[in-house]
């Protein structure tokens, strides 16, 4: 059974445990001598669930914490990603048995084997909630779509560089091959592209058709990215989550989030739909033109609310900031709302 640390009752109200300790009681005037090592350890764990958006600092309310609600593990312990913020800012005191393990590991969490992450996810979520949702009804495969306002060969190269840094490689880890394909006219099947141009140039070329590139997470695990032109240099960049099982899906989503963090200044919005409840193109007008959704809500959607109002389909759901965007997340109670 995975041990839990740092789950204070003020965190994530929807999952709050009233018997959990209070973060206010954990605040200390100064940190431990090895607090920098502890911070490094908390940052080096394996993310097994990624939450979009942010939560306010539970003590002062004066700061937003990006990614709050995401879960991280070292294989023995699990903690919320926002714990690092409270240790760094308030020197939050943590249990001595956890600190003993941190020191024994020399302040670096070892990579968690796939089998162990699967065990932890099963323990935390039960039978995969996302996999169960995928069978609730018809829908497209899961996807994470970014709407970028300036897709050029240069910005596309930056995107691929950020994906590479986040752990999604354009070259196969063993063979070094790049897998680029293009879908022909009238929906004819994809065919390999072998014109020798850099992948970024091909992806950004509006005349190339719908181009798909494999992104390798491991030698036997990949996702794909494809580009769909909307108008001018605006494009929907679609990352497929089809065929990915936990924990790989959450690790790929975490990598995509890290990459998007580097590109969000040019991002008009995004849609994360893990189970593919809604059609891909249904969100084009919602994100780019402020239209109201007419399909089932995704897991998360980010909009530039300076250009359009929050969709009424989200009711009183409070959005959280993500740079110039506002993120709205689908709650469990919204399961059947459209």
**Given a cut of 60, is residue 262 above it in pLDDT?**
yes
The mean predicted confidence, pLDDT, of the chain is 82
Is 37:102 a contact under the CB 8 Å cutoff? yes
Tens digit of each residue's pLDDT (9 = 90 or more) over 187-240: 555 566 666 788 899 888 877 777 889 998 877 788 999 988 888 778 999 999
Given strand 300-303, what is the order of strands in its sheet? 190-192, 180-183, 210-218, 221-231, 234-240, 143-148, 267-273, 300-303, 325-329, 320-322
Domain map (residue ranges) of the chain: 3-126, 134-334
The pLDDT of residue 12? 62
More confident residue, 229 or 139: 229
Region label for 189, one of left (φ > 0), alpha (ψ between -120 and 50) or beta (otherwise):
beta
Percentage, residues of the chain above pLDDT 90: 32
**Given a cut of 80, is residue 62 above it in pLDDT?**
yes
Mean pLDDT along residues 144-156: 90
Distance, in Å, from the CA atom of 39 to the CA atom of 29, rounded to the nearest integer, reads 17
Tens digit of each residue's pLDDT (9 = 90 or more) over 38-57: 999 999 998 888 776 678 89
More confident residue, 211 or 18: 211
Distance, in Å, from the CA atom of 17 to the CA atom of 39, rounded to the nearest integer, reads 25
Could you tell me the pTM of the whole model? Answer: 0.67
Mean pLDDT along residues 101-114: 92
């Amino acid at each position: 059974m995975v041990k839990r640390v740092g789950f204070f009752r003020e965190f994530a109200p929807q999952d709050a445990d009233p018997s959990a300790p209070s973060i206010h009681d954990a605040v200390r005037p100064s940190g431990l001598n090895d607090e920098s090592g502890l911070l490094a350890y908390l940052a080096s764990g394996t993310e097994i669930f990624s939450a979009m958006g942010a939560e306010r600092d539970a003590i002062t309310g004066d700061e937003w914490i990006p990614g709050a609600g995401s879960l991280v593990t070292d294989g023995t312990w699990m903690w919320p990603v926002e714990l690092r913020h409270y240790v760094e800012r308030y020197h939050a005191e943590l249990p001595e048995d956890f600190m003993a393990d941190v020191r024994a590991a020399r302040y670096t969490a070892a990579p968690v084997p796939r089998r162990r992450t699967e065990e932890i996810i099963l323990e935390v979520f039960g039978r995969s909630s996302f996999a169960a949702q995928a069978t609730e009804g018809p829908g497209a495969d899961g996807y994470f779509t970014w709407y970028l306002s300036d897709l050029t060969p240069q910005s596309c190269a930056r995107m691929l560089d950020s994906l590479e840094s986040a752990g999604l490689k354009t070259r196969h880890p063993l063979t070094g091959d790049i897998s680029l394909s293009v879908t022909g006219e009238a929906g004819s099947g994809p065919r390999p592209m072998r014109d020798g141009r850099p992948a970024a140039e091909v992806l950004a070329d509006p005349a190339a058709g719908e181009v798909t590139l494999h992104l390798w997470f491991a030698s036997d695990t990949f996702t794909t990215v494809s580009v769909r032109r909307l108008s001018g240099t605006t494009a929907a960049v679609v990352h497929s989550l089809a065929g990915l099982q936990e924990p790989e899906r959450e690790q790929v989503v975490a990598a995509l989030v890290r990459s998007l963090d580097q590109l969000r200044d040019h991002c008009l919005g995004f849609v994360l739909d893990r189970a593919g409840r809604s059609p891909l193109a249904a969100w084009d007008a919602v994100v780019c033109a402020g239209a109201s959704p007419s399909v089932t809500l995704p897991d998360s959607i980010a909009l530039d609310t300076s250009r359009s109002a929050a969709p009424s389909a989200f009711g009183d759901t409070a959005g959280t900031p993500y740079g110039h965007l506002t993120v709205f997340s689908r709650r469990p109670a919204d399961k059947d709302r459209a």
